[in-house]
Structure 1
């Protein structure tokens, strides 16, 4: 993590990064890794990401009694009275519920909780903001959800490690990409928090589902839905349009869709 003094020194030297910031927000750790831009641009972009994610947390947190989501759940605020982002997210949750036959559900546990979409949606919006600022090479990571664009060095794509479902010090796979959103659902980040909304029970047979594609919010929701399906997860991911997936089952079998972007073991590993 670069300190303010380090960033100032890099700016004075005309350095091009990397600029790394780590922030705890939305109940997880978010890392912001920017490459190939000036210190001024990096500082402004990082500040924008941090500000946005804290705004999202304040509006959508189910742990804050003053959040819009908590107030909607208590009947103190209607969706029509909430701001446009709240209405859009809840509308998208309903679309995804229908699309996944109810396996993605903002009320999977009973109370309103759109978190399985919100984190990915918020990080995707942050990535889009960095792009609008002219930052072309970056990687944002938030507790298993990643958006990367450009490369870590000229000619070198980003390499994204997918955490092993049983060993926090190991990776189950490494992806390679220059423009990709990756979301992973499993029990290692928050324990057995994903349930089958139809039964309100934790699914069996699957320990990890990773979905990647163009939009992190959608990938996040799809990975949650697939995980909730249990033994049907791998087959269902084959039907996804524009998204690829890797499913790890309880017996350590790994299923990948045909174009899942696994890194070539012979490529540069720096």
Structure 2
């Protein structure tokens, strides 16, 4: 996303082990942010508070998190934060929807790390940022969590978020740009974080996709299907029929590209890595 718009309020914090930025785009004539700040700044703060709470509950790096206490048998589900049961339902549905390409239980205990970030950002956006769109001076709101985006726009506005899909072989280059008004964009693969996506069926890293970018209505879904695409591999788009994605792109380790809209593949590009 662009970061040089003088009409945009942006705040960045390190939460959930990554930089997360919150963006609020102001309407025409709102270059002076004094009018917006008293309402917008507290809402942005609530987003970060929400994400810190989620991290406290689900972190696999904090010994006192609910998830690790459950894994050690020190906490019963009924006594855990209610968010745990919500994410448990999401994770169960995700495993069924992806036909096992995603599983929060592949380690032998409940670890929804691959799902909870998108879910948390989606929830925080809906609860704390979307209400700002009723303010006359707010045009659009969005959260960027380590490159994964949940975006909302005032229906009366012609604003569009322009999102670039980076080339995993050259992070300074852009393979494509997409316009989003209301929706989410997530990218998974080996380009940014190495071999971090694990195939639940084998317990080994998934290596057959270098980058998978998915656009969907909800970030939890975009993130889920980007992960599932990496596990499925570049040559398998059979999962598209089960997915609720708007569009997406896969980049193979050898540089080939596949793009789709809905459940239909629209582009295959042969290119060198």
TM over 0.5: yes
Equivalent in the alignment of 2:14: 24
Matches within 5 A, 1:251-266: 251-258=254-261
The match for 1:44 is 42
Q: CA deviation at 1:148?
A: 1.5
RMSD: 2.1
State which of 215, 236, 240 in structure 2 corresponds to 1:237: 240
**Residues 1:216 and 2:219 aligned together:** yes
Is 1:98 the counterpart of 2:96 in the alignment?
yes
Q: Report the number of matched residues.
A: 243
Please name the residue that 2:33 is paired with: none
- Gaps of at least 5 residues in structure 2 are 1-5, 28-35, 264-273
Contact 1:143-1:189 at 8 Å conserved across structures: no
CA shift digits 1:25-44 (9 cap, x unpaired): 11111011111171112101
Question: What is the rounded CA distance, in whole Å, between the counterparts of 1:235 and 1:94 in structure 2?
Answer: 21
Q: What SS is found at the alignment partner of 2:172?
A: coil
TM-score of the aligned structures, taking structure 2 as reference length: 0.82
Q: Report how far residue 61 of structure 1 moved.
A: 0.3
SS at match of 1:108: coil
**Other structure's SS at 1:91 match:** helix
The structure-2 alpha-carbon separation of the partners of 1:163 and 1:22, relative to structure 1 and needing over 3 Å to count, comes to same
Higher strand share: 2
Name whichever of 179-188 and 126-135 sits farther off: 126-135
Cα gap change, 1:113 to 1:201, in 2 (>3 Å): same
- Equivalent of residue 185 in structure 1, options 180, 184, 188: 188
Match of 1:84 in 2: 82
Kindly state the Cα deviation for residue 259 of structure 1 after the two structures are TM-superposed: 5.2
The Cα shift of 1:93 comes to 0.4
> In structure 2, which of residues 18, 21, 25 is the aligned counterpart of residue 35 of structure 1?
25
* Range 19-28 or range 100-109, more displaced: 100-109
How far has the Cα of 1:219 moved from its partner? 1.4
1:252 Cα deviation (Å)?
A: 1.4
Q: CA–CA distance in 2 between the matches of 1:120 and 1:54?
A: 14
173 and 109 in structure 1: CA distance in 2 versus 1, 3 angstrom threshold: farther
